[in-house]
Structure 1
Amino acid sequence: MHIQTSDQPSLDLGFGEYTCNWGVHLCGLYETDKERDAIIFGFLAQGAKVGDLQLYCPAERSREDFESKMSAACPHCGPKLKDQEVFRISSARDLYYPDGTFSPWAMEDGLNAFYEQSRDQGGPNIRATAEMVWALETIPGVEHLMAYESRLNYFIKGKPWVSICLYNVAKFDGKTIMKVLQTHPYIISQGVISANPFFVDPDIWLSKNAPEFMNRDE
């Protein structure tokens, strides 16, 4: 089933027989490890099969646990899991707050630098997914996570990039999940992908909830 998410070329998401278009930001909501892994393993396995670059941030599991289970679920992925040209696996700290503080601007700088370097080197399309439970920790700046999620829609638009942010609804409270829904235009829930009726355009969301992240002072 195809979900029209942009005017870019389409890709196979690798789960639920869904296809969509590049340049989209989705949230995956789940309650069990099985639900979470159906998304992660399918998404990344399909990307490895067709030659996309996989970015993955484990937070509810160790890297070793992921590599073991991914190898079992996707035999053709096993030999590639340590190949930086196919898989980039980062801890939450290394990806989101390497200096101990989370900053939407620093994240945006890092993603832009990574993307530009990848393009300069003739890099492939990019699939990114992350388990977001790290945000439940007391990390300086984590209160700005949803501003980052809203701004991520600006970053991804028009790029050969798909991001899936994974939120465990058994761990995040309802108020936070509603903010998650407001900052992701598409949702994955119980294996079904759909346009998200709660999504708020980032121009509107940021102006109301985080005006300091509307525009960057140069």
Structure 2
Amino acid sequence: MNKKLKNSIEIVGLVVTIWGIITAIQNEKIVYIFLLLFVLAALSFVAFREYIFKSIEFHSIDYEFTIHDKEGKRAVCKKKKLFTVYSKNFTTLHDKNIGGTGNVNFIKSNMGKPMQVTEGGSISLITMFHPPLKEDIQHKHTIEMEYINCFTESIESILIQADRKCAAVTTNISFPHDRPCKSAKAYLFFDDSATQLDKPTISDDGKKLEFVVTKPKQFGKYNIEFTW
């Protein structure tokens, strides 16, 4: 909901309520006053619910992993997020659980000032924006990370955690030409239960894997397990 529509709804609600209060007082019917005040509160809630309860909306999140060698000693991941900000003072974006079984090094970000932190034993990235991001427009944030010795086994996995509501999350993995992907499975871990999902798509030559989740379950963990 954009600013003009929010303001229009609020103004209409205010005008109607003032008119109703005056009419109610003239007719000495106090019940109308409370009824119209309730209408104003409801209209205000509709107009500002996104502003109050949602400071950011994610449209899509894409992960692009590239494994550079057949031993799995080095891989690079680009995480791309498309989102809209609804808050006037949005200054912080949090990317949680970006770690792996080996070492993870942050490389670069296309915007803001990123800071790598450790939380509860897992690596996260906090990006600070000064000045704050502009509201009511789409932003595209890309971070790039290097994974060292994270894919050294014949059966490996990538865990994607859906911390925010999002229309779609896409994961692409590119394999080296001399060690293609043989097979893959996907699971959803949520509320202490595991559900096997549709298998990821693997190209005929095994060099590409794609896994798409539409409307991922918030706080769910999606695990892609592949054999290569």
Between structures 1 and 2, the one with greater strand share: 2
Given the two structures, how large is their TM-score scaled by the length of structure 1?
Answer: 0.30
Given the two structures, how large is their TM-score scaled by the length of structure 2?
Answer: 0.29
Larger Rg: 2
Between structures 1 and 2, the one with greater helix share: 1
